[in-house]
Amino acid sequence: MKKREFIRCSGLLAGALIANSMTGCKNEPANKSGRKIRKDSPIRLKYKPYTLQLRHVFTLASGSRTTTPVVLTQLECDGFTGYGEASMPPYLGESHESVLKFLSEVNMEQFSDPFLIEDITEYIDKIAPGNYAAKASIDIALHDLAGKIVGEPWYKLWGLNPSKTPYTSFTIAIDTPRVVKQKVAEAEPYKILKVKLGLGNDKEMIETIREVSDKPICVDVNQGWKDKKYALEMAHWLKEQNVSFLEQPMPKEQTDDIAWLTQNAPLPVIADEALQTTGDLFKVKDIYSGINIKLMKCGGMNAAYKMAFMAREMGMKVMIGCMTETSCAISAAAQVSPLVDWADLDGNLLISNDVYEGVTVEDGKITLRERPGIGIIELEKIFQD
C-alpha cells in the first residue's frame, strides 16, 4: 500500500469508528449521557509551563539531567475538557520558550468540531515546521476532548483490544554498580529492563544487572557506539545475556554501518533517534529491523497510530516509547500500545511530581482504563477557571 493511500485509509477508518460510536444522530455527536455539543461552541486552548522533577539523575550517552521541561495544555469545548502535554528533553531541540511561542500562534477558536482531527492536524502542521512536542500537546488534548465527547477511550475508537497491551520495560540509566543494583530492585514489578549503554562501561552495566536479576533486558545505546565491529561483537555478547533487541546502537548518520549491523547482528536493531515522523519510515525501512515511535517525536496520537500500522505493513517491529512525561502523554501513548511488539512507557514512573493519574502497570503489563479519551484525571487543579 502506498503511503498516501494508507494515510487516507487509516483516516477514514478512524473516522468511521468515531461515527459508529456516536450515540447522537446525523451530524451531532453526543456523549453517553446524551448531551450534544453545540455546533457554534469554539475550541479554546490553555497552556502552562511545568518542570518535571526526576527521581534519579538520568544519565544517557548524550548527557545527564535532573529535570525535564514540559508544557501542559487543555482544550475546552462546550463544557468538555481534553488534556495534552509537550515534553522537551534537551536533545530534541524544543524548550519552554519554543513551545510557548508555537502555542501562542495557534488559533483553535476557529474550530468548533473536535472530530475534524485530520483538518486540525493539517492546520497545526502548517504553522511551522518541526515543533513536534508542541504539536503533540494539541493532538493529545484534541483526542482526549473528542473521546470524552463520545464517552469512549481511544483504544476502543481505534478498534484495539485492550488485553493485547504489551509488558512495559523499566529504564535503568548509566550509573555506578551500587546505584544500578538499587534501580534493579526498584524495577521489581516490571518484567523487562531497558538498559542504557554507550559510555564505555557496557559490559560492567550488564554484568552488574545479571548479578541480581535474570529478567529479559533490552538495550538502548543512544547512538553511543561509533565502530560497527565493536557493535557486532557487543550484539553477540548481549544475545548471550538474554537481551531482546538493540536500540539506536550507532549515530543515525552512519546508515551503511547500521544496515551492515542489522544484517549481521543476532538481535533486532531498532531506530529511535533516526526517525521522527511517518515520512521517515521510508528512510529507515531497509536499514533497521524496527522503529521506536514516540508521541513527542511524531506529533501525537494521530501520527503514532498511522506509523504503527504502516511499519507493521512494511514487516518492521514496532515499539512505543516516551520521554520523561506525566501520566497525560504516557496514557495517550498507551492507547496505541495494543498494536506494538514492545513498550517502554515508564516516563511517568521516573518523576516525583506527576499531576495526573491514568494508565497503570499491573504485573508489568500496561493496563488501560475504561475511561473516555486518554483516560486520565487531574490530581491537582492546573488551570484556574
- Work out how close the CB of 13 gets to Mg ion at its nearest, in angstroms, rounded to a whole number: 29
CA dihedral 281, 320, 303, 301 (to 10 degrees): 180
Region near Mg ion per CB under 5 A, out of 172-180, 215-223, 235-243, 360-368: 215-223
> Do residues 294 and 323 touch, judged by C-beta distance below 8 A?
yes
Interacting span for Mg ion (CB under 5 A) from 146-154, 194-202, 209-217, 267-275: 267-275
Q: Whole-number minimum distance, CB 247 to Mg ion, in Å?
A: 5
Identify which of residues 257 and 272 has a Cβ nearer to Mg ion in the complex: 272
Is 220 an interacting residue with respect to Mg ion (CB under 5 A)?
A: yes
List the interface residues with Mg ion, window 76-95 (CB under 5 A). none
Dump the DSSP string for 191-222.
Answer: SEEEEE--SS-HHHHHHHHHHH--S-EEEE-T
* Residue showing cell 459508529: 20
Q: Angle at Cα 201 formed by Cα 92 and Cα 58, nearest 5°?
A: 40
Count residues contacting Mg ion (CB under 5 A)?
3
Rounded (5°) CA angle 270-63-198? 45
The interface with Mg ion within residues 108-167 (CB under 5 A) comprises none
Single-letter amino acid, residue 237 = W
Measure the N-to-C terminal CA separation of the chain; round to a whole number of Å: 47
Stretch that binds Mg ion, among 154-162, 167-175, 246-254, 299-307 (CB under 5 A): 246-254
Question: What are 178's three cell numbers?
Answer: 551500587
DSSP 316: -
User: Per CB under 5 A, which region of 96-104, 181-189, 244-252, 323-331 contacts Mg ion?
Assistant: 244-252
Which residue in the shown chain puts its C-beta closest to Mg ion?
A: 272
Kindly identify the residues of this chain, within the stretch 318-337, that bind Mg ion according to CB under 5 A: none
State which of residues 76, 139, 272, 341 lies at the interface with Mg ion (CB under 5 A): 272
Torsion (CA) 8, 293, 335, 327 in degrees, nearest 10: -140
Residue 77 or 195: the one with the smaller Cβ distance to Mg ion is 195
CB of 164 to Mg ion, least distance (A): 23
By beta-carbon proximity to Mg ion, the closer residue of 94 and 247 is 247
CA dist., res. 182 & res. 188, Å (int): 10
CB of 192 to Mg ion, least distance (A): 14
The residue (of 139 and 247) whose beta carbon lies closer to Mg ion is 247
Contacts to Mg ion from residues 47-76, by CB under 5 A: none
Distance CA 334, CA 156 (A): 12
Residue with cell string 487531574? 378
Q: How far is the CB of 89 from Mg ion (least distance, A)?
A: 11
Give the C-alpha separation, 196 to 175, whole Å: 9
The answer to whether 344 contacts Mg ion (rule: CB under 5 A) is no
What is the pattern of x (binds Mg ion, CB under 5 A) and - over residues 247-266? x-------------------
**What distance in Å separates the CA atoms of residue 307 and residue 287, rounded to the nearest whole number?**
17
- Is 4 in a helix, a strand, or coil? helix
Contact region with Mg ion (CB under 5 A), list: 86-94, 136-144, 272-280, 327-335: 272-280
Mark the segment that binds Mg ion (CB under 5 A) among 98-106, 135-143, 220-228, 276-284.
220-228
Binding residues vs Mg ion (CB under 5 A): 220, 247, 272
